[in-house]
Structure 1
């Protein structure tokens, strides 16, 4: 696949923990880098958790312990002939500067840089770093605290940073995550109305709830879903609509 020679800065961002921002960062990066032919990097700025750096270490261990994953990794390397995408540490207030240094020194053109950022809005430099993103994706769940916190946070980005022109942000997209397909909570309709009234944008694709989001490579597993070294299994992607989400994601970011 041909990719344009430009770098897009993207963050899955939310003020609430546990809604999936690190998980979606890893999966989107892996799909783009390993399956779709883009060159990707991640800056893990979520101190002190550094969730994605720890995930990379676990992923390496899982591949060494699982013969199926070993074969998948070998086949993948032979097919695409490129290394795993880098996951780099830095503080939120230094992320843009560190990304610029990295891009200038990279031996290959980097199409997408993902930033895994802290969920606390008063983290030093966080708003400035978010203002340097081109695209922000915010997962929300049908939980009043999560939604109200995210809407307040997103409203600040939209109506203060963007309206005043102090930002590179081209789009902020909310999306439903952990949707229970068996139940239609009245919260969905009421909050979708509020999202529209606030002038915010909600993606069409809803990610259904699945235990696979909380599982990584295991010793006896035969398929992979959440990994920084391999892309998610395509059948598992379809099962929770992640395939539809990525199609919509690619149209939004115009890679």
Structure 2
């Protein structure tokens, strides 16, 4: 990519999947697709991705199968773990600009933001995004909260208060038993509200939360130090989502 693209999976409702999607997309694009990635953890004060990186580091010391998988990935790709910047929202863009201007080659910067738009630092970050992706689910609480968040950004866009280039809703935690026309009806409403929805829908599957274990020898899906295990990618729709996002960023 010619210039770094700024992307945030963002919503104000916990449990919607923004941090999980940030980590999985960053890991897939970096370790599998070979893009140069920077992840910025602005999720103050919990810094969820930084905590995930710490858990991965601990597992490297105590779990032989996890360490073997990570070392094999490094041997095959020649890649060390992607850089992770932990910073408060109000300082994030300055730090990122410093990294870019120092000559570091970066294709995509992913931002993990706090679940609020009542923070000036968060607003400033959102204003700089090429794409804001809002995870939604067919759950009343998550849907109402995420939709309110998206509509607030949409209001900023239409009134000229934000410079966000694109915003999309992303169906997450999709239950295969739900009727397809339910989502079609929702998307008709979203379109009436001027909101765009990504074509890819992410299924409700436990594999999205599958991290390394201190005691179990098992494939890992969500990690900051290696890609999702190939055996778990089938049916996850993660590769399809990655291709759709890349297509949007390159357009």
TM-score normalised to the size of structure 1?
0.91
How many residue pairs get aligned? The number is: 250
Aligned-partner SS, 1:125 = helix
Deviation sequence 1:116-144 (CA, Å, 0-9, x none) = 10111112321121011111111101112
Provide the rounded CA distance (Å) in 2 between the counterparts of 1:201 and 1:44.
26
Which residue number corresponds to residue 231 of structure 1?
Answer: 227
Aligned-partner SS, 2:155 = helix
Which residue number corresponds to residue 146 of structure 1?
Answer: 142
Q: Structure 1 residues 226-235 or 46-55, which shifts more?
A: 226-235
| Contact 1:5/1:109 (8 A) holds in 2 | no
Deviation sequence 1:213-251 (CA, Å, 0-9, x none) = 223111323311000001111331222222222221221
Aligned-partner SS, 1:114 = strand
Q: Structure 1 residues 109-118 or 162-171, which shifts more?
A: 162-171
Residue 220 (1) aligns with residue 216 (2): yes
Q: 1:9 aligns with which of 6, 12, 17?
A: 6
Q: 1:73 aligns with which of 42, 51, 70?
A: 70
Which residue number corresponds to residue 169 of structure 1?
Answer: 164
Q: Which residues of structure 2 form unaligned runs of 5+?
A: none
Residue 45 (1) aligns with residue 42 (2): yes
Q: 1:242 aligns with which of 205, 223, 238?
A: 238
Alpha-carbon RMSD: 1.9
Q: 1:119 aligns with which of 115, 119, 122?
A: 115
| Contact 2:12/2:149 (8 A) holds in 1 | yes
